[in-house]
Amino acid sequence: MTDNLTVLHALVNNNKGFITDIARKYSSSEEEIDPKKGKPELIDDLLPLLPESEKIKIIDETFNTPKMRYNAHVGFIKKEVPTEEDINEGCEKFNNTSDYNSEVPEYQTNYKQTISLIKYGESELMLYYTLFTKKPEYDFESMESKTIVFSNKVRVIIKPRQKIVTVFTGNKDIFNNVLSALTIAFNFPVLPLNANKTGISEVTRGSFSFHTIKFLDFIYYGLADIGEIGDINQISLETSSKSKDPQKVNVKGGNDLLDDKSICEYLFLYARDLVGVRLSLNIETENNRYKANIEISVRDNKVKIGVQKENHTIIRVQETYQMIENNVFKHLKKPGLIDEDKTIKLLDKIKQRAL
């Protein structure tokens, strides 16, 4: 049987036209679905009517698309999770204070946020955060203004034992909103994961930034716990103005950072912060050996992980993501370096390539 939450996630990721077509297919005199409803209402009406075969088809068509990424930001908690009753009360408190702003005129965009606890277990909690956007839109056919409501639903997984918080969004602003909502619901801070740069000496640093050293150490000696690094295709560098998007640089001349002299210059001569990397990882499990293309970003005190869908099954993509998340949480949160001696040698190679 398919997981209804996975089906819901698939429907949310499709446009209203796609959902309306399916609604017409399963609408009947007994269970009539109004195609003029908003997307969230359509999904709520449609989900109970879908047969198993249609659910599998929707999931397959949504997620088995080449180049689709499985994206998430990572956070953490320092305390034990509250009781189920306390979390539900906290969610209600947040929802009551996050309704549409009554002082915003109807002709302006208005927002509403909600968070709800879906599953409470010893090993895993699941919540859904939803951002509703209400905005005016002019209908040229009927010659009148209408209010349209859009929703962005985000799944949140919390593992109480590991104290890891996974927020399934690539949008950093939505991630911030979710952490704020969780902080109110849990009545204690829910924090973003960031690289711990303490424990790196000035002697080790030299002309490199602390951030770059921490990230390089993780890339070469942390990810090795999972598999063998293949091609490093692209890196992201922080900009001097801390602009919205980092500077993306494609690796030229080979499949490693050391093959690209300009990147070595960026990192050593200009001490630019390395804040992102896109690479392939050759992973070997008990039953399989496969290549996964991944992206990891460590920027603005946030960690984001992405796994390319490509021709892998959703289950494999989820398992790959989980391995990477556990690895990131294990290594980036700790002070110091994973292998200081090897990292110093790596930095020396980058220095020699840059000069």
Q: Extract the tokens encoding 4.
A: 């209804």
Tell me the per-residue pLDDT of 322-355, one tens digit each, with 9 for 90 and over: 999 999 999 999 999 999 999 999 999 999 999 8
DSSP assignment of 112-167? EEEEEEEEE-SS-EEEEEEEEEEEEEEETTTTEEEEEEEEEEEEEEEETTTTEEEE
Residue whose C-alpha is closest to residue 293's, from 308, 303, 305: 308
Tell me the per-residue pLDDT of 192-227, one tens digit each, with 9 for 90 and over: 999 999 999 887 888 899 999 999 999 999 999 999
Residue 166: per-residue pLDDT? 97
Tell me the per-residue pLDDT of 259-286, one tens digit each, with 9 for 90 and over: 899 999 999 999 999 999 999 999 988 8
Residue 347: per-residue pLDDT? 95
**Residue 20 identity (one-letter amino acid):** T
Confidence of residue 68 (pLDDT cuts 50, 70, 90): low
Q: Alpha-carbon distance 329 to 310, whole Å? A: 25
**Residue 165 identity (one-letter amino acid):** V
Q: Alpha-carbon distance 245 to 222, whole Å? A: 26
pTM for the whole structure: 0.81
Check whether 96 has a pLDDT greater than 60.
Answer: yes
